[in-house]
Structure 1
Amino acid sequence: MKENDVLRDVFDAIADPTRRRLIRLLAEAEEVPLHELTGQFEMGRTAVSKHLTILKEAGLVLDRKVGRETRFRLNAAPLREIQDWVAFYGKFWHANMLNLGKFLEEEEE
């Protein structure tokens, strides 16, 4: 898999508000069983499972079986790629805002 594919998958995975909420719930706990996650949403177990599958495919969620129960936990490492991407554009906008500020100051003089 190429680097762009991984980035696309992570961006696709976090694009949905339900999946972002799942990430937050998992970030607040060490490990959460599927039935507890399902209880946090107004959707069925199958729908929550589909969202978790997308997060797993992006590498954001890990799961393990404990008896008949599946427990999920966050793997935040792929989020670093998003953080790096956003940081690049943060620097871009910061530099442009400084240039705009200088330009406006020069115009006032």
Structure 2
Amino acid sequence: MTKLAASELANVFFALGDATRLRLVAILCAGGVYSIAQLTANTDLTRQAITKHLQVLADAGLVKDLRIGRERLWQFDPTQVEEARKSLEVIGQQWEMALAKLKAFAERD
């Protein structure tokens, strides 16, 4: 298990912290690859806006693009989400240990 560095973890959560980007990740999680045109269908967002959001997600390692001819297709990459989950699990375990110590201290008196 490799834990994400704090800066990488922050980038993942920053990228997921925007409603539009979170929606894009949800769409891409369904599987397959999508073009910008497919991702902008049925939205009020421009291709440029979707492209900018996808770039933030790509910078965080959450999506990657494939070039097929002149077309750029996007797909979800679960690696960083899994690493973020593992990091949160470690943080959760540390929190549980801290609470147990506090409880033991409080119950000593």
Give the TM-score, by structure 1 length: 0.75
Contact 1:34 1:69 in 2 (8 A): no
Instruction: Supply the AA of the counterpart residue of 1:11.
Output: F
- What are the ranges of 5 or more consecutive residues in structure 1 without an aligned counterpart? 99-109
Count of aligned residue pairs for this structure pair: 102
* SS of residue matched to 1:73: strand
| Aligned counterpart, 2:22 | 20
RMSD: 2.6
Matches within 5 A, 1:83-98: 83-88=85-90, 90-91=92-93
* SS of residue matched to 1:9: helix
**2:71 paired with 1:69:** yes
| Aligned counterpart, 1:45 | 47
Moved more, 41-50 or 84-93: 84-93
- What are the ranges of 5 or more consecutive residues in structure 2 without an aligned counterpart? 101-109
| Aligned counterpart, 1:56 | 58
Give the TM-score, by structure 2 length: 0.75
Distance apart, 1:91 and its partner CA? 4.8
Instruction: Supply the AA of the counterpart residue of 1:22.
Output: L
